[in-house]
Amino acid sequence: MITSLLTWTWVSSGVLLIILVLLHSPKGDGMGGLAASGSSMFTSASSAEAALNRVTWTCLAIFLSLAIILSAGWLR
């Protein structure tokens, strides 16, 4: 019962983690930065970006913790 619940939580946190990573704004210039000169217009993250970073790191910690717990077989 608890293993099933943790497995569903692990899968849900993985899907949420994918969505959160895709919501982040790009940090670099990518391939366009190879030919372009100059620096980025924005150098600091807004409060929304900071909150998104915090939620993403929390979701990552949950995902990795559950991956270790479920793969180690500590709940059997």
**Per-residue model confidence as pLDDT tens digits over 16-63:** 999 999 998 887 666 665 565 555 555 565 788 889 999 999 999 999
Give residue 12's pLDDT. 98
Give residue 44's pLDDT. 60
Can you tell me which residue has the tokens 């998104």?
52
Provide CB contacts within 8 A for 52, sequence distance 6+: 20, 23, 24
User: What are the φ and ψ backbone dihedral angles of 45, each rounded to 5 degrees?
Assistant: -85, 145
Query: What's the whole-number mean pLDDT along residues 62-69?
Result: 97
Give residue 39's pLDDT. 52
